[in-house]
Amino acid sequence: MAAVGAGGSTAAPGPGAVSAGALEPGTASAAHRRLKYISLAVLVVQNASLILSIRYARTLPGDRFFATTAVVMAEVLKGLTCLLLLFAQKRGNVKHLVLFLHEAVLVQYVDTLKLAVPSLIYTLQNNLQYVAISNLPAATFQVTYQLKILTTALFSVLMLNRSLSRLQWASLLLLFTGVAIVQAQQAGGGGPRPLDQNPGAGLAAVVASCLSSGFAGVYFEKILKGSSGSVWLRNLQLGLFGTALGLVGLWWAEGTAVATRGFFFGYTPAVWGVVLNQAFGGLLVAVVVKYADNILKGFATSLSIVLSTVASIRLFGFHVDPLFALGAGLVIGAVYLYSLPRGAAKAIASASASASGPCVHQQPPGQPPPPQLSSHRGDLITEPFLPKSVLVK
């Protein structure tokens, strides 16, 4: 790459000089690798820490906080954070920010109203997660919650007419089998169970949460495709609807108790940690997820299952028996297989076919090679691994 002078002209380097561009590929590659590793760490820690922190806060002795208030606080903090980020994008100009929000939120009210339905679904989903994690061990919830991959796939086929490869269908079957084994282990009484926990209610809540997650993700893709709004604007709009709908849910479910005991009843540093994780964790993932490819996202999900299981053993006395290990292993394998790009999936299928006999496909002369599928397509392959905060790519 030629150097750019102060006046904007370009000058080629001398014969003995090394241009700056000559170092860029290697430097850029190393930087990209570092960002991928950072992305992997962030995805793993955020996936595991949120579930573990909720489980820890909900099982502490003493007064139990109201889950509906935690959902509302997370939405408020997320909305305020996005507002500050938009303020920074406008270089601290309040007038420009107000005009921008007036145009984006009020003038283009149709786009804003489109977010009301998914915001309602996500508010319901967040409350269901508290119910599920309060009644299931963290490791069991983490494994069972991967059913969101199955629900997202099914809704994509039904609503977007997507097609899945044979390997993806097989991985979904493997995923369902693994979750069923884990739930059979849970129903069989694997390990000690507190008296105030109801595994049936926990399973119903996590299944409902997975259904809502799958539908909301596909709904977003269907109604917001081609939208020019930024990630921060969309999350601000979600936060506005989420706060309002969360307050309605709070009033309907626990209004009398909250009015009597107070909004922040039972809040401890652990509870605030949950709220901050839920508010900022998804936004942080929204920043780093663009550096993670499909395989890395699947690998992060698998690692988070392992991390949640190990931490549950140390923190909550969780007992891992062969049945749970088998089910969790099937889920981890299914997640990895499903996250493979289509090109890799075809390679695996070709390798399997070659085991039974040689099959050579030659390109006819004079015809161009078939186009390669990109691993960064915004399709079903990537959607199940994206956090709720990532709305617009």
pLDDT for the residue 361: 42
pLDDT for the residue 195: 53
Poorest-confidence range of 91-100, 142-151, 251-260, 354-363?
354-363
Report the distance separating Cα 145 and Cα 154, nearest Å: 15
Work out the angle at residue 300's Cα, subtended by the Cα atoms of residues 299 and 302, and round it to the nearest 5 degrees.
65
Residues, the chain, total?
A: 393
pLDDT digits (tens, 9 = 90+) for 125-141: 999 999 999 998 989 99
Rounded to 10°, the helix 269-288/20-59 angle is: 150
Q: Are the CB atoms for 63 and 258 separated by under 8 Å? A: no
Residue 390's closest CA among 249, 162, 213? 213
Residue with token string 């009843």: 265
Report the distance separating Cα 195 and Cα 135, nearest Å: 10
For the segment 354-382, the average pLDDT, to the nearest whole number, is: 42
Q: How does 201-227 read in b/e, with b if 16+ C-beta sit within 10 Å?
A: ebbebbbebbbbbbbbbbbbbeebeee
pLDDT higher than 60, residue 367: no
pLDDT for the residue 243: 93
The type of residue at 305 is I
Supply the DSSP string of 1-19, one letter for each residue.
-PEE-TTS-EEPPPTT---
pLDDT higher than 70, residue 247: yes
pLDDT higher than 70, residue 380: no
pLDDT higher than 90, residue 38: no
pLDDT digits (tens, 9 = 90+) for 189-209: 655 555 567 888 999 999 999
The type of residue at 320 is V
Supply the DSSP string of 183-239, one letter for each residue.
HHHHHTT-S---TT--HHHHHHHHHHHHHHHHHHHHHHHHHHTT----HHHHHHHHH
pLDDT higher than 80, residue 285: no
Average pLDDT, the chain: 78
Residue 155's closest CA among 104, 201, 74, 214? 214
pLDDT for the residue 11: 43
Residue with token string 């990209």: 32
> Predicted confidence band at 54 (pLDDT cuts at 50, 70, 90)?
very high
pLDDT for the residue 355: 47
The type of residue at 24 is E
For the segment 73-101, the average pLDDT, to the nearest whole number, is: 92
pLDDT higher than 60, residue 18: no
Most confident segment among 23-37, 154-168, 246-260, 315-329: 246-260
Instruction: Tell which wins on pLDDT, 153 or 290.
Output: 153
Instruction: Tell which wins on pLDDT, 273 or 185.
Output: 273
Supply the DSSP string of 33-74, one letter for each residue.
HHHHHHHHHHHHHHHHHHHHHHHHHHHSSSPPPPHHHHHHHH
pLDDT higher than 50, residue 378: no
Residue with token string 């573990």: 52
Torsion sign (Cα): 111, 279, 284, 87: positive
Poorest-confidence range of 53-57, 66-70, 107-111, 262-266?
107-111
> Predicted confidence band at 342 (pLDDT cuts at 50, 70, 90)?
low
> Predicted confidence band at 8 (pLDDT cuts at 50, 70, 90)?
very low
> Predicted confidence band at 159 (pLDDT cuts at 50, 70, 90)?
confident
